[in-house]
């Protein structure tokens, strides 16, 4: 019996080729673009990103070229609630969230999967650079062939059910191969630029975006040193993140870095470069793929942000809901709100949200 799959199509080359590959493999493929933009006028002029209206035109053209059914599905409300509102709230609380992690968890692999089931589909698929495999009776993610494009970091919180119903055909290719496939089959998006900004903030100015959304919550405050001495004025805690040096708007005669953010006092703490290197953290909202629960301390390679190089660490349960991560060497700018993700070789073990830095 032919299996049916709904492919989340962003209008980019990766998801477009994913749809082609699955059709070639014999799946009954349906294309779907997730409508998440909040204001048609605001997003009308955007180019490229998966929140743009032009993405719908590109995805529809690809679906027509591949001769597959295509739908635009409205996810505005759930996206605002679980991604945009979460993003704003985290920054206001002095943390630095990763909206792609939230989007993957709540939108692409939860809401889209629900819609796919309603359409009678067996799977959802995306253009992510990762592969789904079964190891020791459990579904896991493995790093993609293209190490530079690997996206497993933002996918650590998928459940066993979601993984069992997910296909990621691009994971066994590198980016150049994907672009060549797209060009060879005549897809106009073969040379489309990758989207790198936050999809709902096209100018990448997250501080100004948040201020527009919740103007009453963003107020000027003090830059202070580690002893609480006032160094100057900042324009609002949402404009800053741990490890930041540029764009502080203050000159102190020596390079200074954001080492802490205290939203209760509306203070941004500045210090020297050595102050942003730490070894230990506590993570919450932890999800394990390779096993149901962590029974004893385990040596892993851990990443504290998408662009970080995996580093040796030991993970252990701090309590029933929290995991302690102890790195062998100090890591630069461990940041509350970001995700810490664990690997064993090329297998994604799991991950969680950084709650505190020890």
Closest by Cα among 265, 242, 197, 253 to 46: 197
Is the Cβ–Cβ distance between 341 and 351 less than 8 Å? yes
Is the Cβ–Cβ distance between 13 and 51 less than 8 Å? no
Residue 256, annotated as binding a ligand: no
Facing residues of 131 across strands? 142
Residue 13, annotated as binding a ligand: yes
Residue 195, annotated as binding a ligand: no
Residue 52, annotated as binding a ligand: no
What does 155-197 look like in DSSP terms, one character per residue?
GTT--HHHHHTEE-GGGGS-HHHHHHHHHHTT-TTTTPPPP-S
- Does residue 170 carry a catalytic annotation? no
Side-chain half-sphere exposure of 264, counting CA atoms within 13 A? 0
Residue 9, annotated as binding a ligand: yes
Residue 15, annotated as binding a ligand: yes
Name the phi and psi angles at 83, rounded to 5: -120, -60
- Does residue 103 carry a catalytic annotation? yes
Name the phi and psi angles at 349, rounded to 5: -80, -40
Q: CA triplet 130, 135, 140: central angle to 5 degrees?
A: 35
Residue 10, annotated as binding a ligand: yes
Task: Kindly name the residue from 50, 51, 103, 170 that is annotated as catalytic.
Answer: 103
Residue 127, annotated as binding a ligand: yes
Instruction: Tally Cβ neighbours within 10 Å of residue 341.
Output: 28
Residue 11, annotated as binding a ligand: yes
Strand order in the sheet with 166-167: 70-74, 28-35, 4-8, 123-125, 166-167
Strands 123-125 and 323-332 come out as unpaired
Residue 8, annotated as binding a ligand: yes
Annotated binding-site ranges for ATP: 8-15, 34, 127
Residues labelled catalytic: 103, 199
Annotated binding-site ranges: 8-15, 34, 127
């Amino acid at each position: 019996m032919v299996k049916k799959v709904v492919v989340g199509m962003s209008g980019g080359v990766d998801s477009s080729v994913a749809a082609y590959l699955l059709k070639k493999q014999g799946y009954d493929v349906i294309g779907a673009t997730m409508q998440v933009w909040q204001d048609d006028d605001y997003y009308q002029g955007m180019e490229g990103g998966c929140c743009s209206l032009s993405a719908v035109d590109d995805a529809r053209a690809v679906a027509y070229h591949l001769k597959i059914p295509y739908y635009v599905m409205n996810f505005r409300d759930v996206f605002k609630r679980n991604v945009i509102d979460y993003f704003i709230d985290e920054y206001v609380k002095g943390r630095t969230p990763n909206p792609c992690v939230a989007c993957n968890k709540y939108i692409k692999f939860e809401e889209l999967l629900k819609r796919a089931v309603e359409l009678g589909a067996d799977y959802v698929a995306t253009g992510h650079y990762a592969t789904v495999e079964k190891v020791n009776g459990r579904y896991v993610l493995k790093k993609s062939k293209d190490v530079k494009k690997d996206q497993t970091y933002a996918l650590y919180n998928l459940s066993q059910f979601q993984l069992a119903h997910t296909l990621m055909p691009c994971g066994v290719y590198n980016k150049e191969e994907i672009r060549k496939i797209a060009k060879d089959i005549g897809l106009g998006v073969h040379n489309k630029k990758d989207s790198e900004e936050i999809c709902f903030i096209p100018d990448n100015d997250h501080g100004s975006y948040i201020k527009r959304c919740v103007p009453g919550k963003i107020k000027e405050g003090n830059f202070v040193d580690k002893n609480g001495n006032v160094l100057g004025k900042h324009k609002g805690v949402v404009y800053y993140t741990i490890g930041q040096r540029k764009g502080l708007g203050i000159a102190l005669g020596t390079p200074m870095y954001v080492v802490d953010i205290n939203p209760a006092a509306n203070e941004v703490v500045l210090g020297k470069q050595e102050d942003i290197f730490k070894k230990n953290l506590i993570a919450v909202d932890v999800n394990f793929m390779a096993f149901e629960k962590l029974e004893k301390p385990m040596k892993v390679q851990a990443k504290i942000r998408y662009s970080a190089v995996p580093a040796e660490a030991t993970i252990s349960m701090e309590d029933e809901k929290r995991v302690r991560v102890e790195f062998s060497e100090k890591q630069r700018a461990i940041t509350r709100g970001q995700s810490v993700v664990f690997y064993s070789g090329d297998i994604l073990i799991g991950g969680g949200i950084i709650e505190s830095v020890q």
